[in-house]
Amino acid sequence: MAKITKEAALRYHSQGKPGKIEVVPTKPYRTQTDLSLAYSPGVAEPCLEIEKNPQDAYKYTAKGNLVAVISNGTAVLGLGDIGAMAGKPVMEGKGLLFKIYGGIDVFDIEVNEKDPEKFIEAVKAIAPTFGGINLEDIKAPECFEIERRLKEELDIPVMHDDQHGTAIISSAGLLNALQVAGKKIEEVKIVVNGAGAAAISCTKLYEALGASHENIIMLDSKGVITSDREGLNETKRYFATERRNISTLEDAIKGADMFLGLSKGNVLTQDMIRSMADSPIVFALANPVPETTYDAAKEAGVAVAGTGRSDRPNQVNNVTVFPGVFRGAIDVRARAITEDMKVAAVWAIVDLIDEKDLREDYVVPDAFDPRVAPAVAAAVAKVAIEKGLARKIVDPEEVKANTLKRVGR
Protein backbone atom coordinates (compact mmCIF):
# COMPACT_ATOMS: atom_id res chain seq x y z
CA MET A 1 0.00 0.00 0.00
CA ALA A 2 1.31 3.45 -0.93
CA LYS A 3 2.24 5.75 1.95
CA ILE A 4 -0.53 8.29 2.57
CA THR A 5 0.86 11.79 3.04
CA LYS A 6 -0.90 14.80 4.51
CA GLU A 7 -0.66 16.55 1.16
CA ALA A 8 -2.19 13.64 -0.73
CA ALA A 9 -5.06 13.33 1.75
CA LEU A 10 -5.91 17.03 1.61
CA ARG A 11 -5.68 17.08 -2.17
CA TYR A 12 -7.97 14.03 -2.45
CA HIS A 13 -10.68 15.74 -0.38
CA SER A 14 -10.42 19.17 -2.01
CA GLN A 15 -9.84 18.45 -5.71
CA GLY A 16 -12.74 18.99 -8.10
CA LYS A 17 -15.99 19.11 -6.15
CA PRO A 18 -15.00 19.27 -2.45
CA GLY A 19 -16.02 16.32 -0.30
CA LYS A 20 -16.81 12.72 -1.24
CA ILE A 21 -20.58 12.35 -1.75
CA GLU A 22 -23.43 14.05 -3.60
CA VAL A 23 -27.19 13.79 -4.26
CA VAL A 24 -28.20 12.54 -7.71
CA PRO A 25 -31.76 12.73 -9.15
CA THR A 26 -33.46 9.36 -9.78
CA LYS A 27 -36.39 10.59 -11.89
CA PRO A 28 -36.59 12.46 -15.24
CA TYR A 29 -36.29 16.23 -14.94
CA ARG A 30 -35.78 17.54 -18.49
CA THR A 31 -39.28 18.80 -19.27
CA GLN A 32 -41.88 21.03 -17.68
CA THR A 33 -44.06 17.97 -17.15
CA ASP A 34 -41.22 16.21 -15.36
CA LEU A 35 -40.78 19.14 -13.00
CA SER A 36 -44.52 19.41 -12.41
CA LEU A 37 -44.54 15.77 -11.37
CA ALA A 38 -41.39 16.07 -9.27
CA TYR A 39 -42.62 19.13 -7.43
CA SER A 40 -45.79 21.21 -7.52
CA PRO A 41 -48.51 20.23 -8.28
CA GLY A 42 -47.78 16.50 -8.75
CA VAL A 43 -45.85 16.03 -5.53
CA ALA A 44 -49.04 16.62 -3.53
CA GLU A 45 -50.40 13.20 -4.48
CA PRO A 46 -47.75 11.05 -2.74
CA CYS A 47 -47.91 13.45 0.21
CA LEU A 48 -51.62 12.70 0.62
CA GLU A 49 -51.04 8.96 0.29
CA ILE A 50 -48.35 9.05 2.98
CA GLU A 51 -50.64 11.10 5.24
CA LYS A 52 -53.20 8.27 5.02
CA ASN A 53 -50.59 5.52 5.44
CA PRO A 54 -47.15 6.56 6.74
CA GLN A 55 -45.64 3.25 5.53
CA ASP A 56 -46.22 4.47 1.98
CA ALA A 57 -43.16 6.68 2.52
CA TYR A 58 -41.22 3.56 1.57
CA LYS A 59 -43.18 3.37 -1.70
CA TYR A 60 -43.02 6.98 -2.80
CA THR A 61 -39.77 8.36 -1.31
CA ALA A 62 -36.11 7.42 -0.89
CA LYS A 63 -36.65 6.55 2.80
CA GLY A 64 -36.22 2.81 2.24
CA ASN A 65 -32.67 3.12 0.94
CA LEU A 66 -31.56 6.10 3.01
CA VAL A 67 -29.43 5.85 6.16
CA ALA A 68 -28.35 8.70 8.40
CA VAL A 69 -24.73 8.68 9.54
CA ILE A 70 -24.95 10.79 12.69
CA SER A 71 -22.17 11.97 14.98
CA ASN A 72 -21.38 14.64 17.54
CA GLY A 73 -17.64 14.34 16.93
CA THR A 74 -16.71 13.32 20.46
CA ALA A 75 -14.64 10.23 19.52
CA VAL A 76 -13.43 10.63 15.95
CA LEU A 77 -11.03 7.90 14.83
CA GLY A 78 -8.06 8.08 17.19
CA LEU A 79 -8.28 11.88 17.25
CA GLY A 80 -10.68 12.14 20.19
CA ASP A 81 -13.20 14.94 20.75
CA ILE A 82 -12.50 17.22 17.80
CA GLY A 83 -16.05 18.52 17.40
CA ALA A 84 -18.96 17.82 15.09
CA MET A 85 -17.75 19.85 12.10
CA ALA A 86 -14.20 18.46 12.21
CA GLY A 87 -15.67 14.95 12.08
CA LYS A 88 -17.59 15.63 8.87
CA PRO A 89 -14.94 14.15 6.51
CA VAL A 90 -15.24 10.87 8.39
CA MET A 91 -19.04 10.88 8.13
CA GLU A 92 -18.83 11.60 4.40
CA GLY A 93 -16.34 8.76 4.09
CA LYS A 94 -18.78 6.45 5.84
CA GLY A 95 -21.40 7.52 3.31
CA LEU A 96 -19.06 6.61 0.47
CA LEU A 97 -18.46 3.16 1.98
CA PHE A 98 -22.19 2.56 2.47
CA LYS A 99 -22.73 3.34 -1.20
CA ILE A 100 -19.93 1.30 -2.74
CA TYR A 101 -20.26 -1.76 -0.47
CA GLY A 102 -24.02 -1.81 0.13
CA GLY A 103 -25.65 0.39 -2.48
CA ILE A 104 -27.11 2.49 0.35
CA ASP A 105 -27.63 6.25 0.12
CA VAL A 106 -26.50 8.37 3.06
CA PHE A 107 -27.01 11.81 4.50
CA ASP A 108 -24.20 12.62 6.92
CA ILE A 109 -25.44 14.66 9.87
CA GLU A 110 -23.12 16.36 12.33
CA VAL A 111 -24.94 17.36 15.51
CA ASN A 112 -23.22 20.02 17.61
CA GLU A 113 -24.50 18.64 20.91
CA LYS A 114 -22.67 16.73 23.66
CA ASP A 115 -25.57 16.42 26.07
CA PRO A 116 -26.90 12.85 25.55
CA GLU A 117 -30.54 13.76 26.16
CA LYS A 118 -30.48 16.65 23.69
CA PHE A 119 -28.61 14.53 21.15
CA ILE A 120 -31.23 11.77 21.47
CA GLU A 121 -34.04 14.24 20.96
CA ALA A 122 -32.35 15.67 17.86
CA VAL A 123 -31.98 12.22 16.30
CA LYS A 124 -35.56 11.27 17.14
CA ALA A 125 -36.82 14.47 15.53
CA ILE A 126 -35.20 13.74 12.16
CA ALA A 127 -35.67 9.95 12.19
CA PRO A 128 -38.81 9.93 9.97
CA THR A 129 -36.58 10.87 7.01
CA PHE A 130 -34.56 7.65 7.18
CA GLY A 131 -34.80 3.91 6.81
CA GLY A 132 -31.99 3.45 9.35
CA ILE A 133 -29.69 5.30 11.75
CA ASN A 134 -25.93 4.67 11.89
CA LEU A 135 -24.44 6.29 14.98
CA GLU A 136 -20.79 7.15 14.55
CA ASP A 137 -17.83 8.41 16.59
CA ILE A 138 -19.67 9.09 19.85
CA LYS A 139 -17.60 8.64 22.98
CA ALA A 140 -18.17 6.12 25.74
CA PRO A 141 -19.97 5.78 28.06
CA GLU A 142 -22.54 8.20 26.60
CA CYS A 143 -22.75 6.14 23.39
CA PHE A 144 -24.24 3.16 25.25
CA GLU A 145 -27.18 5.09 26.64
CA ILE A 146 -27.72 6.99 23.37
CA GLU A 147 -27.93 3.78 21.37
CA ARG A 148 -30.08 2.01 23.97
CA ARG A 149 -32.61 4.83 24.08
CA LEU A 150 -32.83 5.26 20.33
CA LYS A 151 -33.30 1.51 19.81
CA GLU A 152 -36.12 1.56 22.35
CA GLU A 153 -37.83 4.69 21.06
CA LEU A 154 -37.49 4.35 17.27
CA ASP A 155 -38.98 1.69 15.00
CA ILE A 156 -36.19 1.67 12.42
CA PRO A 157 -32.76 -0.02 12.56
CA VAL A 158 -30.29 1.80 14.81
CA MET A 159 -26.67 0.73 15.24
CA HIS A 160 -23.57 2.34 16.70
CA ASP A 161 -21.10 0.92 14.18
CA ASP A 162 -17.98 1.72 16.19
CA GLN A 163 -19.25 -0.82 18.70
CA HIS A 164 -20.98 -3.50 16.72
CA GLY A 165 -19.29 -3.46 13.33
CA THR A 166 -15.93 -4.00 15.00
CA ALA A 167 -17.46 -6.64 17.28
CA ILE A 168 -18.90 -8.63 14.39
CA ILE A 169 -15.75 -8.74 12.27
CA SER A 170 -13.42 -9.41 15.22
CA SER A 171 -15.72 -12.20 16.41
CA ALA A 172 -15.69 -13.81 12.96
CA GLY A 173 -11.92 -13.50 12.90
CA LEU A 174 -11.63 -14.99 16.39
CA LEU A 175 -13.79 -18.03 15.55
CA ASN A 176 -11.70 -18.76 12.47
CA ALA A 177 -8.44 -18.08 14.30
CA LEU A 178 -9.43 -20.55 17.00
CA GLN A 179 -9.77 -23.22 14.34
CA VAL A 180 -6.27 -22.44 13.09
CA ALA A 181 -4.87 -22.48 16.64
CA GLY A 182 -6.78 -25.64 17.59
CA LYS A 183 -8.62 -24.04 20.52
CA LYS A 184 -12.22 -23.77 21.75
CA ILE A 185 -13.89 -20.46 22.55
CA GLU A 186 -15.37 -21.88 25.76
CA GLU A 187 -11.89 -22.55 27.11
CA VAL A 188 -9.70 -19.66 25.96
CA LYS A 189 -8.43 -16.97 28.28
CA ILE A 190 -8.94 -13.52 26.74
CA VAL A 191 -7.25 -10.23 27.61
CA VAL A 192 -8.95 -7.08 26.33
CA ASN A 193 -6.80 -3.95 26.40
CA GLY A 194 -9.22 -1.03 26.16
CA ALA A 195 -12.63 -0.43 27.67
CA GLY A 196 -14.24 1.91 25.17
CA ALA A 197 -17.33 1.32 23.06
CA ALA A 198 -15.74 -1.11 20.60
CA ALA A 199 -13.93 -3.13 23.28
CA ILE A 200 -17.06 -3.53 25.40
CA SER A 201 -19.16 -4.59 22.41
CA CYS A 202 -16.53 -7.03 21.13
CA THR A 203 -16.22 -8.70 24.50
CA LYS A 204 -19.97 -9.03 24.98
CA LEU A 205 -20.28 -10.64 21.56
CA TYR A 206 -17.44 -13.04 22.39
CA GLU A 207 -19.48 -14.07 25.42
CA ALA A 208 -22.60 -14.51 23.30
CA LEU A 209 -20.58 -16.86 21.09
CA GLY A 210 -19.45 -18.96 24.03
CA ALA A 211 -16.50 -17.26 25.74
CA SER A 212 -16.50 -17.66 29.52
CA HIS A 213 -16.99 -14.47 31.52
CA GLU A 214 -14.55 -15.75 34.14
CA ASN A 215 -11.84 -16.16 31.49
CA ILE A 216 -11.89 -12.50 30.43
CA ILE A 217 -9.63 -9.77 31.83
CA MET A 218 -10.25 -6.18 30.70
CA LEU A 219 -7.94 -3.21 31.12
CA ASP A 220 -8.44 0.52 30.70
CA SER A 221 -5.97 3.39 30.93
CA LYS A 222 -5.59 2.75 34.68
CA GLY A 223 -4.77 -0.95 34.31
CA VAL A 224 -6.72 -4.11 35.06
CA ILE A 225 -10.34 -3.34 35.92
CA THR A 226 -10.96 -4.92 39.32
CA SER A 227 -14.22 -5.11 41.24
CA ASP A 228 -12.80 -3.17 44.20
CA ARG A 229 -11.98 -0.09 42.12
CA GLU A 230 -14.12 2.91 43.02
CA GLY A 231 -16.09 4.93 40.49
CA LEU A 232 -16.64 2.22 37.88
CA ASN A 233 -19.48 2.82 35.44
CA GLU A 234 -21.98 0.05 34.78
CA THR A 235 -20.29 -1.29 31.64
CA LYS A 236 -16.85 -1.50 33.23
CA ARG A 237 -18.25 -3.00 36.44
CA TYR A 238 -19.69 -5.88 34.41
CA PHE A 239 -16.18 -6.88 33.25
CA ALA A 240 -14.37 -6.17 36.52
CA THR A 241 -12.36 -9.14 37.77
CA GLU A 242 -12.26 -10.48 41.31
CA ARG A 243 -8.56 -11.26 40.93
CA ARG A 244 -6.22 -9.12 43.01
CA ASN A 245 -2.85 -10.50 41.87
CA ILE A 246 -2.79 -8.65 38.55
CA SER A 247 -2.75 -4.92 37.82
CA THR A 248 -0.89 -4.32 34.54
CA LEU A 249 -1.05 -5.62 30.98
CA GLU A 250 2.21 -7.46 31.60
CA ASP A 251 0.54 -9.28 34.52
CA ALA A 252 -2.72 -9.99 32.72
CA ILE A 253 -1.25 -11.30 29.47
CA LYS A 254 0.63 -14.20 31.07
CA GLY A 255 -0.93 -17.49 29.98
CA ALA A 256 -3.61 -15.79 27.88
CA ASP A 257 -4.80 -17.43 24.67
CA MET A 258 -6.08 -14.29 22.98
CA PHE A 259 -5.25 -10.58 23.11
CA LEU A 260 -7.70 -8.00 21.81
CA GLY A 261 -6.33 -4.48 21.60
CA LEU A 262 -8.55 -1.46 21.15
CA SER A 263 -6.40 1.01 23.03
CA LYS A 264 -3.24 2.74 21.81
CA GLY A 265 -0.18 1.93 19.77
CA ASN A 266 2.93 -0.01 20.78
CA VAL A 267 1.81 -1.18 24.23
CA LEU A 268 2.17 -4.94 23.60
CA THR A 269 5.80 -6.07 23.57
CA GLN A 270 7.22 -9.25 22.11
CA ASP A 271 8.17 -10.41 25.61
CA MET A 272 4.53 -10.06 26.66
CA ILE A 273 3.45 -12.10 23.63
CA ARG A 274 6.00 -14.80 24.47
CA SER A 275 4.47 -15.05 27.96
CA MET A 276 1.08 -15.99 26.50
CA ALA A 277 -0.16 -19.58 26.14
CA ASP A 278 0.99 -21.77 23.26
CA SER A 279 -0.37 -20.80 19.82
CA PRO A 280 -1.78 -17.45 20.95
CA ILE A 281 -4.01 -15.13 18.93
CA VAL A 282 -3.33 -11.39 18.81
CA PHE A 283 -5.76 -8.85 17.35
CA ALA A 284 -4.10 -5.45 17.71
CA LEU A 285 -6.74 -3.04 16.43
CA ALA A 286 -5.70 0.39 17.66
CA ASN A 287 -5.90 2.90 14.82
CA PRO A 288 -3.78 4.14 13.10
CA VAL A 289 -0.91 2.59 15.13
CA PRO A 290 -1.69 -0.90 16.50
CA GLU A 291 -0.67 -2.19 19.92
CA THR A 292 1.93 -4.33 18.12
CA THR A 293 2.66 -4.76 14.46
CA TYR A 294 1.64 -7.85 12.52
CA ASP A 295 5.28 -8.70 11.81
CA ALA A 296 6.38 -8.27 15.43
CA ALA A 297 3.55 -10.49 16.64
CA LYS A 298 4.44 -13.22 14.17
CA GLU A 299 8.11 -13.01 15.10
CA ALA A 300 7.13 -13.49 18.76
CA GLY A 301 5.37 -16.74 17.90
CA VAL A 302 1.64 -16.07 17.61
CA ALA A 303 -0.52 -18.57 15.74
CA VAL A 304 -2.69 -15.82 14.23
CA ALA A 305 -2.21 -12.06 14.16
CA GLY A 306 -4.56 -9.39 12.90
CA THR A 307 -4.61 -5.59 12.82
CA GLY A 308 -6.83 -2.89 11.39
CA ARG A 309 -4.27 -2.13 8.68
CA SER A 310 -4.80 -2.94 5.01
CA ASP A 311 -1.09 -3.47 4.29
CA ARG A 312 -0.88 -6.73 6.26
CA PRO A 313 -2.93 -9.97 6.29
CA ASN A 314 -6.06 -10.35 8.44
CA GLN A 315 -7.35 -6.79 8.34
CA VAL A 316 -9.99 -6.72 11.07
CA ASN A 317 -12.02 -3.76 9.85
CA ASN A 318 -15.72 -2.96 10.15
CA VAL A 319 -15.89 -1.86 6.50
CA THR A 320 -16.67 -5.52 5.78
CA VAL A 321 -19.70 -5.45 8.09
CA PHE A 322 -21.93 -2.39 8.34
CA PRO A 323 -23.03 -2.14 4.67
CA GLY A 324 -24.37 -5.69 4.75
CA VAL A 325 -26.02 -5.33 8.17
CA PHE A 326 -27.96 -2.24 7.12
CA ARG A 327 -28.67 -3.63 3.64
CA GLY A 328 -30.34 -6.67 5.12
CA ALA A 329 -32.21 -4.68 7.76
CA ILE A 330 -33.63 -2.02 5.46
CA ASP A 331 -34.49 -4.44 2.64
CA VAL A 332 -37.01 -6.16 4.92
CA ARG A 333 -37.86 -2.88 6.70
CA ALA A 334 -36.74 -4.28 10.03
CA ARG A 335 -37.83 -2.49 13.17
CA ALA A 336 -34.45 -2.97 14.83
CA ILE A 337 -30.99 -4.51 14.62
CA THR A 338 -30.76 -7.16 17.33
CA GLU A 339 -28.11 -9.28 19.00
CA ASP A 340 -29.38 -12.30 17.06
CA MET A 341 -28.76 -10.43 13.80
CA LYS A 342 -25.21 -9.61 14.87
CA VAL A 343 -24.51 -13.25 15.71
CA ALA A 344 -25.96 -14.28 12.34
CA ALA A 345 -23.68 -11.75 10.64
CA VAL A 346 -20.68 -13.26 12.45
CA TRP A 347 -21.44 -16.77 11.20
CA ALA A 348 -22.14 -15.50 7.69
CA ILE A 349 -18.61 -14.06 7.56
CA VAL A 350 -17.07 -17.15 9.17
CA ASP A 351 -18.70 -19.40 6.57
CA LEU A 352 -17.26 -17.40 3.68
CA ILE A 353 -13.86 -18.98 4.28
CA ASP A 354 -13.94 -22.70 3.56
CA GLU A 355 -12.17 -24.81 6.16
CA LYS A 356 -9.66 -26.02 3.57
CA ASP A 357 -8.73 -22.41 2.75
CA LEU A 358 -8.37 -21.31 6.37
CA ARG A 359 -4.81 -20.47 7.36
CA GLU A 360 -2.87 -18.22 9.74
CA ASP A 361 -2.80 -15.30 7.29
CA TYR A 362 -6.42 -15.71 6.13
CA VAL A 363 -9.02 -15.75 8.94
CA VAL A 364 -11.15 -12.83 7.75
CA PRO A 365 -12.32 -12.04 4.21
CA ASP A 366 -10.63 -9.22 2.35
CA ALA A 367 -12.40 -5.87 2.54
CA PHE A 368 -12.90 -6.02 -1.23
CA ASP A 369 -14.38 -9.53 -1.19
CA PRO A 370 -17.67 -9.14 -3.12
CA ARG A 371 -19.30 -11.96 -1.15
CA VAL A 372 -19.27 -10.25 2.23
CA ALA A 373 -22.07 -7.65 2.05
CA PRO A 374 -24.52 -10.00 0.24
CA ALA A 375 -23.89 -12.83 2.73
CA VAL A 376 -24.28 -10.56 5.77
CA ALA A 377 -27.38 -8.89 4.31
CA ALA A 378 -29.07 -12.25 3.71
CA ALA A 379 -28.25 -13.46 7.23
CA VAL A 380 -29.61 -10.30 8.86
CA ALA A 381 -32.77 -10.32 6.74
CA LYS A 382 -33.40 -13.99 7.59
CA VAL A 383 -33.26 -13.33 11.34
CA ALA A 384 -35.46 -10.24 11.03
CA ILE A 385 -38.11 -12.32 9.29
CA GLU A 386 -37.84 -15.26 11.68
CA LYS A 387 -38.11 -13.02 14.75
CA GLY A 388 -41.12 -11.08 13.46
CA LEU A 389 -39.20 -7.81 13.12
CA ALA A 390 -39.64 -7.45 9.34
CA ARG A 391 -42.41 -5.31 7.88
CA LYS A 392 -41.68 -6.70 4.42
CA ILE A 393 -41.05 -10.37 3.68
CA VAL A 394 -38.27 -10.91 1.14
CA ASP A 395 -36.52 -14.21 0.45
CA PRO A 396 -33.00 -13.88 1.98
CA GLU A 397 -31.54 -15.31 -1.22
CA GLU A 398 -33.24 -12.48 -3.11
CA VAL A 399 -31.74 -10.01 -0.64
CA LYS A 400 -28.32 -11.53 -1.33
CA ALA A 401 -28.77 -11.34 -5.12
CA ASN A 402 -30.10 -7.78 -5.00
CA THR A 403 -27.24 -6.65 -2.77
CA LEU A 404 -24.72 -7.98 -5.26
CA LYS A 405 -26.49 -6.05 -8.03
CA ARG A 406 -26.66 -2.85 -5.99
CA VAL A 407 -22.95 -2.74 -5.28
CA GLY A 408 -22.29 -3.16 -8.99
CA ARG A 409 -19.79 -5.97 -8.76
Give tens-digit pLDDT for 127-183.
Answer: 999 999 999 999 989 999 999 999 999 999 999 998 999 999 999 999 999 999 999
Same domain, 192 and 52: no
Residue 2 lies in a domain: no
Same domain, 93 and 175: no
Position 109 in a domain: yes
Say whether 227 sits in a helix, a strand or coil.
coil
Model pTM score: 0.94
- Shared domain for 141 and 234, answered yes or no, is no
Regarding whether 194 and 112 lie in a shared domain, the answer is no
Strands in 105-110's sheet, in edge-to-edge order, are: 105-110, 66-71, 132-135, 158-160
Residue 340 resides in a domain: yes
Report the distance separating Cα 80 and Cα 148, nearest Å. 22
* CATH of residue 24: 3.40.50.10380
Q: Nearest CA to 235 among 149, 142, 298?
A: 142
Say if residue 118 is in the same domain as residue 234. no
Instruction: Give a yes or no: residue 8 inside a domain.
Output: no
Span 363-386, pLDDT tens digits: 999 888 999 999 999 999 999 999
pLDDT for 61 beyond 70: yes
Under DSSP, the state recorded for 226 is B
pLDDT tens by residue, 206-233: 999 999 999 999 999 999 999 999 999 9
Q: Does residue 230 sit within a domain?
A: yes
Residue 310 has pLDDT above 90, yes or no: no
Percent pLDDT > 90 in the chain is 91
Q: In terms of domains, do 218 and 253 share one?
A: yes
Helix axes 372-386, 88-102, angle to 10 degrees: 90
Same domain, 111 and 170: no
Residue 2: what pLDDT?
67
The pLDDT > 70 percentage for the chain reads 99
The confidence score (pLDDT) of residue 408 equals 55
Do 34 and 112 fall into the same domain? yes
Are 152 and 166 in the same domain?
A: no
> In which domain, by residue range, is 47 found?
17-156
Q: How far apart are CA 159 and CA 1, in angstroms?
A: 31
Whether residue 7 lies inside any domain: the answer is no
Give the pLDDT score at 78.
76
Mean pLDDT of 178-199: 96
- Residues with a catalytic annotation lie at 39, 94
Q: Which one of 156, 190, 214 terminates a domain? A: 156
Last residue of a domain, one of 134, 156, 178: 156
* Beta-sheet pairing, 216-220 with 223-224: antiparallel
**What's the pLDDT score for residue 3?**
78
Average pLDDT of span 254-283:
97
Residue 76 within any structural domain of the chain: yes
- The whole-number average pLDDT for the span 76-93 is 94
Per the structure, how many domains does the chain have?
2
Q: Say if residue 178 is exposed, middle or buried (CB neighbours under 10 Å; 0-12, 13-18, 19+).
A: buried
pLDDT averaged over every residue in the chain: 95
Q: pLDDT band for 1, please (50, 70, 90 cuts).
A: low
Beta-bridge partners for 69: 108, 134
- On whether residue 145 sits in a domain, the answer given is yes
* CATH assignment at residue 197: 3.40.50.720
Domain boundary among 98, 130, 156: 156
Q: Do 383 and 356 sit in the same domain of this protein?
A: yes
